[in-house]
Chain A
């Protein structure tokens, strides 16, 4: 069974540009979570999608947004990129967020903002 996949693996942007990151959950999982992990720091929760709806968001500005598609894959968009947005962005999926099953992580997208 395929795990969580993310694309691209690496992304280089300049300040002010927009970045789009993609995630495909494990087959059968309806919940997708996005986390930011800056170098040397812990995972910071960004967004949670379940059944196509945004369920919750972390303490990040509105320029961080996303969506979940009918096939449960998800996009994270970061507008007006800033240098401090450079980080590893991790996507995780679980069978269903409300029941609270284990989250399984993808390999991440490493975003570098120059």
Chain B
């Protein structure tokens, strides 16, 4: 089976930097995704890592260490609209193909 852990809630200040961590245990690892989900809306794709290292995309960056089973999402220059849940999802290859398993999500509150 798979186990994905991320903090339930985080609070940060507008303009600051926040790091959301995700740890996982899985067999057949084949990539890690981060999604953003505003309340009552569908998740939207943010980033994808399959190799170790940092992927940067504007204000958002995502890091992966496969040996440590660890990833983080870094949000810079926080804006109020960044208040949302951030979902870490691990893709693993099994007999049926690639399956995506989601963590419980981290609810980020950005305060003025």
Interface residues of A (CB under 8 A from B): 33, 35, 41-45, 48, 50, 55-56, 88, 90, 97-100, 102-108
Contacts and interface: CB of A to CB of B under 8 A. Distances in A.
Given A90-B42, A104-B45, A108-B42, A45 B105 contact: no
Contacts, number: 57
Given A98-B98, A108-B42, 5 more contacts: A45-B99, A45-B101, A100-B31, A105-B44, A107-B42
A48 B99 contact: yes
A97 B98 contact: yes
Contact of B105 (A42, A55, A103): A42
Interface of B: 30-31, 33, 35, 40-45, 48, 87, 89, 91, 93-94, 96-105
Given A42-B105, A43-B87, A103 B100 contact: yes
Contacts of B35: 105
Contacts of A108: 41-42
A48 B42 contact: no
